[in-house]
Amino acid sequence: MREGGRTGGPVAQLVRSLHRVVRLPRSREVARLLAQADDMRDAGRHSEAAGLYEAALALAPGKVGVHVQAGHMFKEASDFGAAARHYAEAERLAPGDADLQLQLGHFNKRVDRLAQARAHYARAVKLAPGWPEPQRELAELTKREAALDLSDEWTGDVPVPELLPGPIEPQSTGPLDAIRLRRLGGRRARTAKGMVPLLSGVEAIHGTCFCDRPLVEATVMIDEQVIAREPMEMVPTADPAVMKAVFNLWVDLSAIPAGLHRLDLVLADADGWTRRHVERIAVAAPVPAGDTAPFDSDGRVTLSPGNGCSVEQQVRALPSVVRSVHRVLMPAPAAILVLRTDQLGDMVVSVPALQRLRALFPAAQIVGLVTGANADLARSLGLFDEVLVADFPDDPDRRRRIMTADAQKALAARLAAYRFDVAIDLATSDVSRPLLQLTGARLTFGFDHGNSPWLDGGISGSVRDPRGDGDAAPQSGRVLALVERLGTLCATGAHIVRRSELGRDHLATLGLGPDEPFVVLHTGARVVFSRWPGFPELARAWLDRHPGKVVLLAEGTDVAGTLPAELHAENRLIVIDRRLAFDQLDALLSFAQLFVGNDSGPKHLAALRGTPVVSIHCARIGWAEWSQEQTGVVISRRVPCAGCALFHDADECGKGIACVTDIGWAEVLAAAEAAIA
């Protein structure tokens, strides 16, 4: 086993010098022994290599590099005493060698002498300032020791220590030149060699790299063919010597054949030096534009082939999407497949869930996929329209249920004829979860333990056993909860709730008469970069086209200070840049003709009170997840990087928050006018 180190360390120097010495018989014998030792080392025969290195030392004592190699081999052979003797002799002969100090640190860490390891790594840093490897090792040791430090453990004085403010830690810049991916495919696929990112159609490759010099260009290659190249954005950090490079490349993989491929992401500086990230990826065929999924994601972008423009130009030229809030709900499924491919008792505990499923979807065709062990019980329940028996035996040798390739193909062909909207696996374990991939269902549902990345939805919760890893609650309750969660996809129970005692008298002090029509524009949002910048233009256009007043809620923003003078002079515009009492705010939102705002609390309150709402949504999170549910529409942009979940670090977007800034005021105006038509 070769040990890493810097070029020119004592080992390399000694080997070069010894192999040059061929004039004397003793030198030739030493060279022969070293060559044999190297061969044994490379073959993994560590004990034999160690003996040969010691034989060479007997003929040529005092050679630092050979002592180090002997130490390595004895270490790999777990003869730590012999290894320590050779390392100690090497250090005596070369106390000022940084590479040797690094190797001594590795050895002492291996034998759990952490204090000695720290001392050797520290000497390596002192001897070779700027060498990153011993610095990383010191940092890892510090992290390991901190994890075992009990000095700041809870003493009982504070009920929940993690809620304390604690010190403000400086923002970490991370290791230099290491590429950190925020997004590479929205899902993952399982292959014979493990999990890989799954990409399809138009995708975003998004991330950062901390560096000490500007990076100018990011290149994406698939199977060594360049498919995208863009300039980088450089962002300063708290450390003046470190910059953050941001990349967000939008690529169209529609022409890439489905299957496994190699992806290279290459970041280059002005001198041509590169940093590279290489990964195996799976590419799937893009979903046809007309094939609607159960839920419509802003990350699903469809472009026109042969357009001639770049992917980014095409994406940014697309119109914004206006969706009714009722589209957050899935239509009641017409055909449901229920998997219970296990034992009799498993079917028994599923009866409450099956009864609830039938009550939730009384018009649906419900088909059961079961095993011979529970098929008769399934038929006797009267809850299935049809019962199918799967050949899915439990193999005691392989300790899992199995299905041959022919049986899989036959089952998939049989299930395809039903055109299932939903396939739900009621098993709490993962044993039958892979069968969902054979169902052809538009939505697959089940308990999600993180082992089925292709699963569309489900739940993962359990009631923890206080003394073990099992569940402390009945299985029937867990299965029932899964079915209830499926039901919430079609109906959440959200509805309009008005306050009968709330009157318009709360609006008088705001400059609104008892019968005066008005609309509310709310410019704020807790996530600052998600605030739409077009409210001044929208206010001007609305005042030009409609009677009544416009109330601009601008508390906590700088919108009021940036309004044009002519808008400030408009007597039908009321600008409120202070926090209102709740009853005032509630009355304002309850009696407005229309509310237009960012994704924030006031838009949800306005919808709760029944006011038509136009929500301007930043694609950092899914539009359906945080849409208002009772009234109105959501307007958003389709972008490949949707769902990035940016929060604190807006400078890591790489596209100027295009999912918000590219929404045009004319688009919002049209949606607002349609909402009250």
Task: Give just the sign of the alpha carbon dihedral 143, 145, 148, 154.
Answer: negative
pLDDT at 15: 47
**Tens digit of each residue's pLDDT (9 = 90 or more) over 73-83:** 999 999 999 99
Inter-CA distances, 234 with 247, 311, 513, 647, Å:
9, 22, 52, 19
In terms of phi and psi (left: phi > 0; alpha: psi -120 to 50; beta: otherwise), the region of 548 is left
- Max mean pLDDT among 136-145, 198-207, 396-405 falls in 198-207
Q: Assign 551 a pLDDT band (cuts: 50, 70, 90).
A: very high
> Which of 293-297, 436-440, 442-446, 544-548 bottoms out in mean pLDDT, i.e. has the lowest?
293-297
Is a pLDDT exceeding 60 seen at residue 154?
Answer: no
The pTM of the full predicted model, rounded to 2 decimals, is: 0.78
pLDDT at 1: 35
Interval 112-137 mean pLDDT: 90
Q: Where are the beta strands (DSSP E) in 319-401?
A: 321-324, 335-340, 365-370, 386-389, 394-395, 400-401
- 122: its two tokens: 């520290």
- Of residues 220 and 557, more confidently modeled: 220
pLDDT at 27: 86
pLDDT at 23: 46
Sequence-distant (6+) residues with CB within 8 A of 522 are: 553, 595, 596, 597, 598, 600, 602, 603
Is a pLDDT exceeding 80 seen at residue 24?
Answer: no
The CATH code that applies to domain 10-147 is 1.25.40.10
**Tens digit of each residue's pLDDT (9 = 90 or more) over 247-283:** 999 999 999 999 999 999 999 999 999 999 999 999 9
Q: Assign 668 a pLDDT band (cuts: 50, 70, 90).
A: very high
Task: Tell me the C-alpha distance between 600 and 554, whole Å.
Answer: 13
pLDDT at 460: 86
pLDDT at 560: 85
Task: Tell me the C-alpha distance between 612 and 606, whole Å.
Answer: 8
- In the chain, the percentage of residues whose pLDDT exceeds 90 is 75
**Tens digit of each residue's pLDDT (9 = 90 or more) over 489-536:** 999 999 999 999 999 999 999 999 999 999 999 999 999 999 999 999
> Which of 24-28, 115-119, 196-200, 526-530 bottoms out in mean pLDDT, i.e. has the lowest?
24-28
Is a pLDDT exceeding 50 seen at residue 5?
Answer: no
Q: Where are the beta strands (DSSP E) in 434-536?
A: 443-447, 457-459, 518-522
Is a pLDDT exceeding 90 seen at residue 14?
Answer: no
Task: Tell me the C-alpha distance between 405 and 416, whole Å.
Answer: 17
Single out the residue of 614, 648, 608 nearest to residue 535, CA to CA.
Answer: 614
Residue corresponding to tokens 């508390």:
555
- Find the angle CA(516)-CA(517)-CA(521) to the nearest 5 degrees: 125
DSSP 8-state secondary structure symbol assigned to residue 287: P
pLDDT at 9: 54
Domains 335-488 and 504-675 share a fold: yes
Is a pLDDT exceeding 50 seen at residue 399?
Answer: yes
Q: Assign 479 a pLDDT band (cuts: 50, 70, 90).
A: very high
Task: Tell me the C-alpha distance between 638 and 650, whole Å.
Answer: 19
pLDDT at 449: 87
Inter-CA distances, 98 with 83, 95, 126, 371, Å:
19, 9, 8, 66
Q: Which CATH architecture has domain 335-488?
A: 3-Layer(aba) Sandwich (3.40)
Task: Tell me the C-alpha distance between 372 and 364, whole Å.
Answer: 24
Interval 58-70 mean pLDDT: 93
Is the CB of residue 503 less than 8 Å from the CB of residue 514?
no
DSSP 8-state secondary structure symbol assigned to residue 13: H
Sequence-distant (6+) residues with CB within 8 A of 218 are: 229, 230, 231, 232, 247, 249, 265, 266, 267, 268
**Tens digit of each residue's pLDDT (9 = 90 or more) over 307-324:** 789 999 999 999 999 999
Interval 80-93 mean pLDDT: 94
- Of residues 150 and 47, more confidently modeled: 47
pLDDT at 166: 79
pLDDT at 164: 83
DSSP 8-state secondary structure symbol assigned to residue 209: E
pLDDT at 12: 47
Return the number of other C-beta atoms located less than 10 Å from residue 401's C-beta: 18
Name the phi and psi angles at 206, rounded to 5.
-135, 130
Q: How many CA atoms lie within 13 A of 389 on its CB side?
A: 12
Is the CB of residue 615 less than 8 Å from the CB of residue 634?
yes
Look at strands 549-553 and 518-522 and give their pairing: parallel
Task: Tell me the C-alpha distance between 519 and 509, whole Å.
Answer: 17
Interval 633-640 mean pLDDT: 97
- 325: its two tokens: 């809030």
Interval 403-424 mean pLDDT: 96
Q: Assign 18 a pLDDT band (cuts: 50, 70, 90).
A: very low
- 348: its two tokens: 């028994």
Give alpha helix (H) positions in 529-641.
Answer: 535-545, 559-562, 565-568, 582-591, 601-608
Q: Assign 150 a pLDDT band (cuts: 50, 70, 90).
A: low
Residue corresponding to tokens 């497949």:
337
| C-alpha distance across the termini of the chain, in Å | 76
pLDDT at 11: 47
Is the CB of residue 485 less than 8 Å from the CB of residue 458?
yes
Among the four given CATH numbers 3.30.465.10, 3.40.309.10, 2.60.40.10, 2.40.50.140, the one describing domain 179-286: 2.60.40.10
Look at strands 243-252 and 233-236 and give their pairing: antiparallel
Q: Assign 184 a pLDDT band (cuts: 50, 70, 90).
A: very high
- Of residues 207 and 160, more confidently modeled: 207
Spans of all domains in the chain: 10-147, 179-286, 335-488, 504-675
Task: Tell me the C-alpha distance between 628 and 610, whole Å.
Answer: 11
Domain 504-675 is in which class?
Answer: alpha beta
Residue corresponding to tokens 């199918």:
388
Is a pLDDT exceeding 70 seen at residue 657?
Answer: yes
Interval 378-386 mean pLDDT: 98
Inter-CA distances, 65 with 70, 79, 103, 627, Å:
9, 19, 12, 67
pLDDT at 292: 52
Q: Assign 153 a pLDDT band (cuts: 50, 70, 90).
A: low
- Of residues 32 and 144, more confidently modeled: 32
- In the chain, the percentage of residues whose pLDDT exceeds 70 is 94
Task: Tell me the C-alpha distance between 645 and 663, whole Å.
Answer: 19
* Average of per-residue pLDDT values in the chain: 90
